[in-house]
């Protein structure tokens, strides 16, 4: 624990130049002299993220055999072992509001709709659902940041969704009101410029790329001046942050240049990597930067959309995602699907590695995060909605104990977990969705 002295910089300090505005991460120099670093806003500035993965999992290879703290990570969840102290595996939850009329497509649409709402997706011309947990959080902990929330996805939105259910139920997991689904963005170029630079139209973004003007180049003189006034720890933090920004710029520029040369597909959005894993990791890196700079504290991320037939070459599995989830109860197919489940968990581990490496107060950004990873479906072959694959990561600024596998009564509604998460974020309300009470976590 350190008592801080010296110059006090504004937490809202921006570096500006050539149409850009670069927010800085929290530095010790932003804490007033005489205050204790551990008691700074970093210790209570919890970020929360919600990551959705469709089609469920091979639950027999997901669920650890023992509960409590004395458990072994399962085959699928093994990549999370390095973060054991920041992990809670939550078992036996269900989303009863995902059941309803219609066929398999309806079950898929309702799976993503119910995930953060605990509400039944209503059929009809107008989409109607319920406010989602991320947006409840955004109204409480996101109002003093430039962006109350950030919504990200990988697949493009669907235009035809069947069974009388609006495509909004599949294209987003974030609802600001019962009739206001929030669009999710899959283009890293657009996300980057939303976070750090101007360019609200395609023409402006194209002009910015043609200028080949780096965000950091535009503020180089200000960075040099600032560095001269910072203590060594802050200089190291700032250097790490700027290195990350430069690397993301390089990757977006490279992806955009490659797409621009593909004249046979002129409609394709610029800045989206062709490689699916590179795309996912780039979006995760942007989320980390958004949290680090306090541009937003609330994010949602669709790792894939329901009915996605994406193939993930790096997983070693050549079958498409949705088709493989229909395993026909054959153990060979279930084993293959488990390999794909594990690969997706490895991507979660990539995000946690980035967060764990970034200092935030006297801990890490992971310590001051609360991240929900899971699905609204259990078995993609049966199209059922329990028991759901669910993981909580992060320590919520010290409000959440880690290293546990928590079992609950069969068919406990997942809304109870969402309510408990809101409580851990300091948001007190009596109910959420179809909750029956806050889950003991």
**What integer best gives the mean pLDDT of the chain?**
84
Give residue 260's pLDDT. Answer: 45
Tell me the pLDDT band of 235, cut-offs 50, 70 and 90.
confident
Q: Give the pLDDT mean for 83-112.
A: 94
DSSP string, 53-67: --SB--GGGTS-SS-
The better pLDDT of the pair 34, 311 is held by 311
pLDDT attached to residue 218:
66
Least confident of 51-60, 176-185, 191-200, 389-398: 191-200
DSSP of 281-315, one letter per residue?
Answer: HHHHHHHHHHHHTTS-SEEEEESS-TT-----GGG
187 or 43, higher pLDDT: 187
pLDDT, one tens digit per residue, over 53-88 is 999 999 999 999 999 999 999 999 999 999 999 999
Using pLDDT thresholds of 50, 70 and 90, give the confidence band for residue 125: confident
Helices (H) and strands (E) in the chain, counts: 11, 15
Domains of the chain (ranges, CATH numbers): 47-186+297-441 (3.40.720)
Provide DSSP, 248-286: HHHHHHHHHHHHHH-TT-TTSPTT--SSHHHHHHHHHHH
pLDDT of 21 reads: 63
What are φ and ψ of residue 197, in 5° steps?
-150, 170
Mean pLDDT, range 25-49, rounded to an integer: 64
**Model confidence band, residue 194 (pLDDT cutoffs 50, 70, 90):** confident
Residue 109 CA: distances (Å) to CA of 114, 129, 167, 415, 425: 9, 12, 8, 18, 28
Query: Looking at residue 39, what is its pLDDT?
Result: 38
Per-residue pLDDT tens for 179-193? 999 999 999 888 887
Q: Would you say residue 258 has pLDDT above 80?
A: no
Q: State residue 312's pLDDT score.
A: 97
Most confident of the ranges 1-5, 122-126, 231-235, 355-359: 355-359
Confidence of residue 269 (pLDDT cuts 50, 70, 90): very low
Q: What is the pLDDT of residue 48?
A: 97
pLDDT of 30 higher than 90: no
At residue 70, the 3 state secondary structure works out as coil
pLDDT of residue 165: 85
Confidence of residue 203 (pLDDT cuts 50, 70, 90): low
Percent of residues, the chain, with pLDDT higher than 90:
59
């Amino acid at each position: 624990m350190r008592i801080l002295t010296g110059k006090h910089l504004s937490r809202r300090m921006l570096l500006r130049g050539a149409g850009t505005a670069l927010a800085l991460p929290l530095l010790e120099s932003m804490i007033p002299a005489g205050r204790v670093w551990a008691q700074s806003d970093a210790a209570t500035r919890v970020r929360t993220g919600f990551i959705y993965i469709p089609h469920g999992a091979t639950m027999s290879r997901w669920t650890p055999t023992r509960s409590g703290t004395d458990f072994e990570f399962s085959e699928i969840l093994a990549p999370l072992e390095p973060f054991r102290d920041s992990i809670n595996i939550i078992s036996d939850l269900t989303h009863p509001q995902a059941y309803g009329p219609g066929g398999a497509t309806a079950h898929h649409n309702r799976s993503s709709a119910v995930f953060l709402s605990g509400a039944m997706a209503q059929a009809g011309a107008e989409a109607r659902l319920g406010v989602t947990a991320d947006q409840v959080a955004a109204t409480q902990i996101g109002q003093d940041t430039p962006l109350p929330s950030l919504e990200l996805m990988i697949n493009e939105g669907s235009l035809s969704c069947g069974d009388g259910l609006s495509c909004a139920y599949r294209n987003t997991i974030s609802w600001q009101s019962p009739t206001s689904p929030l669009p999710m963005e899959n283009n890293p170029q657009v996300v980057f410029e939303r976070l750090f630079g101007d360019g609200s139209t395609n023409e402006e973004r194209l002009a910015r790329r043609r200028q080949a003007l780096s965000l950091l180049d535009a503020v180089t003189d200000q960075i040099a001046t600032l560095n001269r006034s910072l203590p060594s720890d802050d200089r190291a933090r700032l250097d790490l942050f700027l290195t990350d920004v430069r690397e993301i710029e390089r990757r977006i520029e490279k992806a955009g240049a490659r797409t621009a040369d593909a004249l046979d597909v002129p409609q394709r959005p610029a800045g989206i990597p062709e490689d699916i894993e590179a795309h996912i990791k780039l979006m995760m890196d942007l989320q980390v930067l958004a949290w680090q700079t306090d541009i937003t504290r609330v994010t949602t991320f669709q790792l894939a959309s329901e009915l996605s037939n994406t193939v993930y070459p790096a997983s070693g599995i050549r079958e498409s995602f949705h088709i493989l989830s229909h395993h026909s109860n054959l153990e060979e197919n279930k084993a293959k699907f488990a390999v794909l489940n594990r690969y997706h968990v490895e991507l979660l581990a990539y995000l946690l590695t980035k967060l764990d490496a970034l200092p935030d107060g006297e801990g890490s950004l992971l310590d001051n995060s609360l991240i929900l990873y899971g699905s609204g479906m259990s078995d993609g072959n049966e199209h059922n909605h329990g028991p759901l694959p669910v993981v909580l990561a992060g320590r919520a600024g010290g409000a959440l104990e880690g290293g546990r596998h928590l079992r609950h009564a069969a068919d406990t509604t997942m809304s109870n977990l969402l309510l408990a998460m809101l409580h851990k974020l300091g948001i007190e309300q009596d109910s959420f969705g179809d909750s029956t009470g806050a889950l003991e976590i």
